[in-house]
Structure 1
Amino acid sequence: MDFEYSDKTKQLMGRLKGFMDAHVYPNEKRFHEEVAEGDRWQPTKIMEVMKEKAKAEGLWNLFLPESSLGAGLTNLEYAPLCEIMGRVIWAPEIFNCSAPDTGNMEVLVRYGTEAQKKEWLEPLLAGKIRSCFAMTEPAVASSDATNIASLIKRDGDEYVINGRKWWSSGANDPRCKLFIFMGKTDPDHPSRHSQQSMILVPKDTPGVKVLRHLPVFGYDDAPHGHAEVLFEDVRVPASNMLLGEGRGFEIAQGRLGPGRIHHCMRLIGLAERALEKMCQRTLSRVAFGKPVAAQTVTLERIAEARILIDSARLLTLKAAYMMDKVGNKIAAKEIAMIKVAAPNMACQVIDWAIQAHGGGGVTDDFGLSYAYAQARTLRLADGPDEVHRNQIGKMELGMHAPAGVLKGR
């Protein structure tokens, strides 16, 4: 495996780092100040200014592998760009590379009809609207997605949708115009993985009601955020169905593979920044007669953080490489491994950085408490650690167990 970045990627990395240095890091404080002013759920002025700059510099829609609509990068080529953007939690939006829009756009590129692409993909690619992915439900253990109980019923030329979703990222955003909704079209199908479908639901459809925003460790993530949403007798045209009835899991797997690469590389960027802050802080503080950086425990943690970050990066690049070479299905174990490794790594590194900052670490002054909340959340998002570990364990055992022994376990 060759993880050497292509010339195209290296050139984009340089431009992206330059943009972050010139426009993003200097405006971190301003962004948070604008969010705190007035209505927190309105887009910030500084974000819109930076978006226009990113467009003008050709740093826009850098994702979308296997598509002429993006930058034409493979998963492996895009991965290091994700890391650079991930150093600031809200920065990916500047480049139209933020979740859940990236995943939703990939769904529309792969599985949408030409009419669906015209109506929804084009404005998403242009950054004119935002979107939401409505999958997780409060009433069931959604870590087993076959439990999803929302219903999508055919009624003539329409589908009628009923269900309650939560952790629907972006639903609070006034720019959100579209939900990709997962629910059951055939609850009695003998295959639990063929019961589910995905359908496009415009946010302004009667019966769609955003009930509340859901804070994470007290952070509301405004103006994006996460929400609980009620869908009550929501009617949409039958033409809004994606790919066909019973194809929901197929779409989900196509969506979540690249998304996990993105999440993991962004977390690596977040952890890198936390380590930088840890080093800078401990070099500038003196305790018990010498710099905190010279304390043995600090040196050990800095060294261990470097090992953990680099290990997670290599594992994630391997997963991206395999996705490009052999596809999501064959790379399933590697994708599951990074989804466990990267969030746990980030939680540990950020925790050490918080400890090194003392009381300042748990304030908002250094951005570490917010970073920790994000990293800890990603041990649950896109499937909890336990689900991925079970999957990894079964695949590993499957290499040694007689055929059929692990079936149904």
Structure 2
Amino acid sequence: MGEPASVARLAWDITSGIEAGELADFYRDLHRHPELSFEEHRTAAKLAGRLRAAGYGVTEGVGGTGVVGVLVQGDGPVVWLRGDMDALPVREASGLPYASTVDGVMHACGHDLHVTWLMAAAEALAAARDSWSGTLVVIGQPAEENGGGARAMVADGLRERFPRPDVLFGQHAAPGPVGFYPHTPGLTMSAVDDIDVVVHGVGGHGSRPESTVDPVVTAAHIVTRLQTVVAREVAAKDSAVLTVGQFHAGTQHNIIPAEARLALNLRTQDTGVRARVLAAVERIVRGECDAAGCPVPPEITVLPGHPNTVNDAALDAEIAAVHREVFGPGTVFDFGPVMGSEDISLLPPPGVPYDYWYVTTTPPDVWAAAPGDGLMEKFANVPGNHSPRFAPDPAALVPGVRTLVSAALSRLA
């Protein structure tokens, strides 16, 4: 690894010429044109075009809509930089002049920032390629939000078709006053499982419920009972979140439907807790269906999730030290593990270390106006990721480029 102070100076030199206005234009264009998971065709094309113009060998369509750019500059380590590209099925309510033009779709998680950071970091490093040695691989990943993008790229040969990494770096936009870069060694994000439940009842006329087995009532009991799992079956020292994200049933006011569907989301940080909660979900769903007299057992499907995101502790300490040199000692701190989830850990080959950190993006006026006195009180009251009012400050654009550039240079310089 390069000495942090010299890496920081080089990172500043390399990024000092970034045109902030042009970068903001690129970002705002992405924000106006969000694309859902595996539909990121326009976003991928824009990233691929900029990488080609900067001198990268570019492969498109990796894992569906993924983009991989490779720049070889002599001997040295191989660094992977990753940014995810997809948006969310959220109707924007930010009031921004560059708000989404796609009804019901929004970059509510900041992936438009991620693509912009990745693109600009790749361009800056390419322009200064005489100052470093090694291989830079830039990955525009699709479909992080539905959990399938990293798996799709790996299944499409990401690890075999492109230079094997020595390290992988990534970052995420987060709420918090602009100017902070939280790092957490070890466990930083949680494992996630999605669970689909189908409750089978007996449909009929709304005026004759006695002739039916109402799946809406049964599913409602399931939803209520599930709220006790974390509160009464998970120890206070452990962490888990169980969310009912969807409840679908019925077609008309006066028809009792034949089935109801639930979509659940589980976040855990311990394999034993995960197994316990999954077992509780199955027990409650089957028990409520039995109690209601459902004619056939419910369908319970646990979809492929992804594991905890666990930063390599030594690598994280090194990159945190570089970021302190770049931005100042008070800007980097350990936020601790969060219940959010990521699929970046699925990208590198086994044994390859990775580091994943955050870039805070809340505009100063929004932060100042948020209720609360301390950091955590305000943090809970500003629009966060997945909110229809999530509106990152473009002032975080250039700093987010510097975090990636400096991390890459810690190995390449």
- Per the normalisation by structure 2, the TM-score is 0.27
Greater fraction of residues in helix: 1
Larger relative strand fraction: 2
Question: Could you tell me the TM-score, scaled by structure 1's length?
Answer: 0.27
